[in-house]
């Protein structure tokens, strides 16, 4: 751990915190408070943890490379986040928590506090507990399970009261957590097989997807469908930790399923009082750094005229060759029936498919992760 003015301590051992209190008493905290805390929140990664660094924070000096820290110092309070590198876990969650507390507070003499199970991010298992440490302040430990390993996150404030007052910062930070891929596993733990043949050599696929009705679009008292607006609160080039899933633009009724086996399927729909149109495409996908490569193998168009009582018609359409899209991972907020929620999203920018009309000749779309099956 470290105080917000000085450097950091090693994994074992502890730096005294008297300087923190003296600095605040001397008014040094007021000098820090004059700094600008504007600017966008930033999505970052360290070791096995991806997170959104809150607005208005600055990097804290580091004494070693086994963690990353960022801080905010106000006129009469301060808060410091530290994310430590992952380590193997072999005990139960409560025992792992006690081990990390004793390791990170070795010289304080403060016994590990009671801890409780909780979820962080998108349903990631974690364990949390905190206590006051003399000459340091209130120390909260959050142990995050990253699959056979544990990441320790320390949140420090001058007092427990300050810790409670910063919950509007702490809560969204913990909600933003995601498990980053293990080294050497590509952009996500569920990436498609590396041996998939590229381009025309890849096999045919019969993968299909339909528009996902997962309750995101809701019907109001006026009888109309309401699509919540998506607000980007953080973004970063590249992919989220878990890529496979069903992604969707509800306005355009464009649905993209990226399957764990490397296949993909998309569906694009439109309709009016005269009839409906739906175009399906199937093929293979792969992640190439911060780019998504789609190699289509087939596409079809279904049309139905409501005046035709014999049903619709399906015909093949041109799908073209491989298409490469720049990918940005998004953290999205939306409000539905006066309740605010959060999900992750993808922004794709690149060439248009032969069957998709775009006045600009470019394709740019924001997709939310649905609750559909992977």
Query: What are the sequence ranges of the domains in the chain?
Result: 18-179, 199-369
Region of 260 (left: φ > 0; alpha: ψ -120 to 50; beta: rest) is: alpha
The pTM assigned to this predicted structure is 0.54
Mean pLDDT of 189-205: 48
- Residue 142 and residue 120 in contact, taking contact as beta carbons nearer than 8 Å: yes
Res. 42 pLDDT band, cuts 50 70 90: low
Percent of the chain whose pLDDT exceeds 90: 35
Res. 248 pLDDT band, cuts 50 70 90: very high
Res. 113 pLDDT band, cuts 50 70 90: very high
According to CATH, the topology of domain 18-179 is Jelly Rolls (2.60.120)
Res. 3 pLDDT band, cuts 50 70 90: very low
Taking the C-alpha atoms of residue 42 and residue 63, their distance in angstroms, rounded to an integer, is: 23
Residues linked to residue 139 through DSSP beta bridges, in sequence order: 131, 156
State the chain's mean pLDDT as an integer.
Answer: 79
Residues linked to residue 269 through DSSP beta bridges, in sequence order: 278
Percent of the chain whose pLDDT exceeds 70: 77
Which range has highest mean pLDDT (30-34, 236-240, 261-265)? 261-265
Taking the C-alpha atoms of residue 294 and residue 286, their distance in angstroms, rounded to an integer, is: 7
- Neighbour-count burial for 37-71, b at 16+ CB within 10 Å, e otherwise: eeeebebbbbbbbbbbbbeebeebeebeeebbbbb
Q: What is the pLDDT of residues 16-33, one digit of tens each?
A: 333 333 333 333 443 333
Taking the C-alpha atoms of residue 197 and residue 283, their distance in angstroms, rounded to an integer, is: 12
Taking the C-alpha atoms of residue 17 and residue 23, their distance in angstroms, rounded to an integer, is: 10
Q: Provide the 8-state DSSP code for 69.
A: E
Residues linked to residue 347 through DSSP beta bridges, in sequence order: 328, 366
- Residue 348 and residue 324 in contact, taking contact as beta carbons nearer than 8 Å: no
Q: What is the pLDDT of residues 121-132, one digit of tens each?
A: 877 899 999 999
């Amino acid at each position: 751990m470290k105080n917000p003015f000085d450097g950091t301590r090693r994994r074992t051992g502890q730096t005294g915190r008297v300087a923190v209190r003296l600095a605040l008493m001397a008014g040094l905290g007021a000098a820090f408070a004059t700094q600008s805390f504007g600017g966008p929140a930033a999505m970052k990664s360290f070791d096995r943890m991806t997170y959104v660094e809150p607005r208005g924070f600055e990097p804290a000096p580091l004494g070693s490379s086994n963690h990353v820290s960022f801080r905010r110092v106000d006129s009469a309070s301060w808060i410091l986040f530290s994310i430590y590198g992952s380590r193997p876990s072999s005990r139960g969650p409560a025992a792992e928590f006690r081990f990390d507390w004793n390791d990170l507070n070795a010289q304080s003499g403060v016994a590990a506090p009671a801890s409780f199970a909780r979820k962080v991010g998108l349903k990631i298992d974690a364990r949390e507990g905190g206590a006051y440490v003399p000459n340091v302040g209130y120390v909260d430990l959050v142990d995050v399970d990253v699959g056979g390993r544990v990441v320790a996150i320390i949140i420090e404030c001058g007092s427990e009261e300050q810790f409670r007052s910063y919950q509007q910062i702490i809560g969204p930070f913990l909600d933003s957590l995601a498990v980053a891929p293990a080294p050497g596993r590509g952009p996500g733990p569920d990436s498609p097989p590396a041996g998939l043949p590229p381009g025309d050599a890849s096999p045919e696929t019969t993968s299909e997807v339909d528009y996902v009705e997962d309750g995101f679009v809701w019907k109001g008292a006026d009888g109309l469908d309401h699509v919540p607006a998506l607000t980007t609160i953080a973004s970063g080039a590249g992919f989220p930790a878990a890529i496979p899933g069903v992604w969707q633009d509800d306005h355009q009724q464009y649905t993209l399923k990226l399957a764990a086996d490397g296949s993909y399927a998309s569906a694009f729909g439109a309709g009016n009082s005269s009839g409906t149109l739906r175009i399906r495409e199937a093929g293979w996908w792969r992640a190439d750094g911060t780019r998504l490569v789609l190699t289509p193998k087939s596409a079809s168009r279904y049309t139905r005229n409501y005046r035709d009582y014999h049903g619709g018609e399906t015909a093949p359409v041109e799908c073209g060759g491989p298409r490469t899209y720049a990918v940005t991972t998004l953290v999205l907020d939306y409000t539905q029936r006066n309740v605010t929620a959060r999900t992750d999203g993808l922004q794709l920018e690149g060439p248009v498919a032969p069957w998709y009309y775009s006045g600009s000749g470019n394709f740019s779309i924001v997709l939310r992760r649905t609750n559909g099956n992977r």
